[in-house]
Amino acid sequence: MKKSKKDGNQDPEVRRKEKQKKVKEFKDTGNARVLIPLLGTMMKMLLKGAQTQRDLAGTVFDTFIGPAKHDEATSMSEQTTNYAAAVKRDGKGHKHGPPHIWAAGGLLKALKGRGDKVGAATAEKIEEIWDEVDKMSNEAKGEAFMFCRLDRTYNGDTKRITLAIRDQDWRQTINKAMDELKWDRKYGRAPASFMERDMQQWVETLLTEK
């Protein structure tokens, strides 16, 4: 099936050439129709930004890189596998909740078993978090752990854990434990979205095309 020109997966060079063609047409003929896709992109980006601002207000994502064989990574992987098996077994309408709460459970389980490595004070707080989470409904767990995922990295020997935890005391406790376990915590701005990159291409093309 032919891809739409609006498809974000289209070759970036193809998109760039299309923009150059439209900008040249505009500059040669004064055809204002070239501004329609540009304005459309601007409006979509503004709306998307407003939605994202509402969704992520007060949310902080933490990313950790560490050995794939660390207990935290293996426990999360096991729980993710268990979730998939449970959903397959029980089918549509299952009551196991979203997959990320199982990954979060795997992480907490691993941290709970590493008390000798994270220090007594942190280990005690991890136990308290574990006990509180254990009493929660799946919906409440999903609110507490808004995002939790284990991913592969380009290096097969490492894994990436990404977290978004609503309670800042919990977040600080888990981050401290991960630091003690030598997980490398990453900081920085998230990569630009497709619409941001598309907008940047339009601006660059308008400024450089002769």
> Sheet of 184-186: strands edge to edge?
145-152, 158-165, 61-67, 184-186
- According to DSSP, residue 188 is labeled S
User: CA 197, 200, 202, 203: dihedral to nearest 10 degrees?
Assistant: 180
Q: Which residues pair with 64 in a beta bridge?
A: 161, 185
Q: Can you tell me the mean pLDDT for 29-51? A: 69
Q: Which of 96, 128, 121 is nearest to 177 (CA)?
A: 121
Instruction: Check residue 13 and give its pLDDT.
Output: 83
Residue 175 confidence (pLDDT): 95
Q: Is the per-residue pLDDT at 59 higher than 90?
A: no
Best mean pLDDT range from 15-19, 26-30, 161-165:
161-165
| Mean pLDDT taken over the chain | 83
DSSP-assigned letter for residue 103 = H
Lowest mean pLDDT among 3-7, 14-18, 30-34, 69-73: 3-7
Domain residues of the chain, as ranges? Answer: 13-55+191-208, 60-186
Rama region for 30: left / alpha / beta (φ>0; ψ in -120 to 50; rest): left
pLDDT at 106: 97
User: Looking at 36-45, 137-146, 165-174, which range is the least confident one?
Assistant: 36-45
Strand partners, 147: 164
The tens digit of pLDDT for each residue in 70-128 reads 999 999 999 999 999 999 999 988 999 999 999 999 999 999 999 999 999 999 999 99
Cα 148 to Cα 150: distance, rounded to the nearest angstrom: 7
**Alpha carbons 134 and 130: distance in angstroms, whole number:** 6
* Predicted TM-score of the model (pTM): 0.64
What's the residue count for the chain? 210
Q: In this structure, what is the dihedral angle of CA atoms 61, 67, 71, 77, given to the nearest 10 degrees?
A: 70
Amino acid at 73: A
* pLDDT for position 2: 46
Q: Note the pLDDT tens digit of each residue in 118-164.
A: 999 999 999 999 999 999 999 999 999 999 999 999 888 999 999 99
- Please tell me which residue, 123 or 53, carries the higher pLDDT value: 123
